[in-house]
Amino acid sequence: MPKPSCLSRRQALLLAAAFVALPSDSRAAQQDFVDSLISRIAGTLAASRDNPDWRKKYDLALRNIEDLKKTLQYGGRISSNPVAPLRADLGARLKELRDEWEAYTNAEQKLEALRKKEAQGTINDIGGEMISRIVPRPGVLTPLAQAKTKNAEIIRQDFARLKTFDEGLAKVREYKKYMLPAIRDTRDRYHGLEPLVQAWAALTPVSFDGTYSGSFQGTASGSLTFTVSNGRISGTVQGRSGSDPVQGKFSGSVSEDGTISTSLSGTLRDSSQYNLGTFTFSGKLTGRINSAVASGNWAGANKHGSQSGSWSASRR
């Protein structure tokens, strides 16, 4: 038997660990390795579609996600989510199957209510309404849509031959019985993805990206706004120290756990009767973002003195 071309889990983890000893210019190689693991997960999930052994594929993908979590400790970023597309497709497929089931159930109920008023035209009308509810939208060419189009033609032919409501009821119930395995299989596949959805959410870092606004207090007070994007933060402050106007700007980084570290600089303008002019200052603004709320401390100084205080803000 030929050897598989892909790495084993043990080999993958050993290779990831080896990247720790490499210099910083190995980051691109580490990212390539992360991307290859994500691609492997995507391939495993793609192979689970319409595969009777989908549970084994899910278990393998879950182990691969665990490998990815360990690999990310050595660097690299998640470039895509291979679990989400499959879950969305299965959700859409399950909804279509349930809609078709509902159309059959509706027809069944009408046939039950009208079975004492046997009329061929009424039976055909109910069949036509049922067909209109399951035929896919024009232009939809998915395998399920093609199957539903074929089913609609079979229903049209079946109902043309029916003579009694009892025959109609039997036929509709036959359709529903035929659908049950597909509904159950799709439902089990959809809910079977939940452990993978949770595992992926656990390894995906929380995004702090967005615009925040709030206020600062202490020996000076006023308002502040800042924007976070891809681990970088930049913002402005505006307020007063006593009666003197203060304005400044800050920029820096936001770590994966939400820790904020920035450098602050600005000006204070003397508003006294002596009009001593504008003075520059520098300092820092630090803190942490927790979900959509951020808070921390600030400090600024120049040769004339220092000031400090706290701040808080929330994401818009």
pLDDT grade, residue 281 (50/70/90)?
very high
pLDDT grade, residue 275 (50/70/90)?
confident
Q: What is the pLDDT of residue 21?
A: 47
Dist CA 310 CA 186 (whole Å): 53
HSE-CB for 136 with a 13 A CA cutoff: 19
Q: What is the pLDDT of residue 46?
A: 95
pLDDT at 136 > cutoff 90: no
> Which of 142-151, 167-176, 293-302 is predicted with the least confidence, judged by mean pLDDT?
142-151
Place of tokens 């402050």: 237
CA-to-CA separations, 72 to 15, 34, 69, 95, 237, in angstroms, rounded: 12, 7, 5, 36, 36
CATH code of 210-315, in short, is: 2.40.128.120
Q: What is the pLDDT of residue 207?
A: 79
Query: How many other C-beta atoms can be found within 10 angstroms of the C-beta atom of residue 93?
Result: 19
The model's pLDDT over 228-272, given as tens digits with 9 standing for 90+, comes to 998 999 999 999 999 999 999 999 999 877 899 999 999 999 998
Nearest alpha-carbon partner for 170 in 107, 125, 118, 119: 107
- Structural domain boundaries of the chain? 9-80, 87-192, 210-315
> Which of 36-45, 125-134, 216-225, 301-310 is predicted with the least confidence, judged by mean pLDDT?
125-134
Average pLDDT along the chain: 82
The model's pLDDT over 67-124, given as tens digits with 9 standing for 90+, comes to 999 888 887 888 789 999 999 999 999 999 998 898 889 888 887 777 655 554 455 5
Dist CA 263 CA 284 (whole Å): 4
| DSSP per-residue codes, 258-316 | -EEEEEEEEEEE--STT---EEEEEEEEEEEEETTEEEEEEEEEETTEEEEEEEEEEE-
DSSP state of 193: T
More confident residue, 212 or 128: 212
| DSSP per-residue codes, 122-181 | HHHHHHHHHHHHHSPPTT---HHHHHHHHHHHHHHHHHHH--SHHHHHHHHHHHHHHHHH
Q: What is the pLDDT of residue 231?
A: 92
Q: What is the pLDDT of residue 78?
A: 85
Q: What is the pLDDT of residue 26?
A: 72
Once rounded to an integer, what is the mean pLDDT over residues 12-23? 51
The model's pLDDT over 19-30, given as tens digits with 9 standing for 90+, comes to 444 445 577 888
The model's pLDDT over 30-66, given as tens digits with 9 standing for 90+, comes to 888 999 999 999 999 999 998 999 999 999 999 999 9
DSSP state of 82: S
pLDDT grade, residue 2 (50/70/90)?
very low
Q: What is the pLDDT of residue 140?
A: 43
